[in-house]
Amino acid sequence: MKRFLSWALGLPVAIILIAFAIANRKSQTVSFDPFSQDAPWLSFDIPLWSLFFAGIFVGLFAGGIAAWLKQGKWRKIARRHRAELDSLRIENERLKQQLSRSDKLLASQEKDVAA
């Protein structure tokens, strides 16, 4: 079902994006010189669709970094809980071994008393 939904949503989006890229093949000048429009010191002629997709990818990348930074607090809490859980597991195993030794000692003392 999940695979069907991903195809049902992904295929139309892919078709729309491909149609957008085909319809916007015309080159667009991108300039990084705000002062001179006649002879900019750094400019590129790129297709409009690549400019659009570059904006999407930059936005996705920036959003991913922002989400990762925002979740740092929760990762720190998870590390602390994991360390606490590990120490509690070690203590639990130690107490089980101690209880097992105590049970064996008690059983041997009961045999001695009964004999």
Tens place of pLDDT per residue across the chain (115 aa)? 888 899 999 999 989 988 988 888 888 888 887 877 777 788 888 998 888 889 999 999 999 999 999 999 999 999 999 999 999 999 999 999 999 999 888 888 887 777 6
Concatenating the DSSP letter of every residue in 69-102 gives HHTHHHHHHHHHHHHHHHHHHHHHHHHHHHHHHH
Structure tokens at 58: 């930059």
pTM for this predicted structure: 0.58
**49 close to 24: Cβ distance less than 8 angstroms:** yes
The residue to which tokens 């049970």 are assigned: 103
44's enclosing H/E stretch is strand 43-47
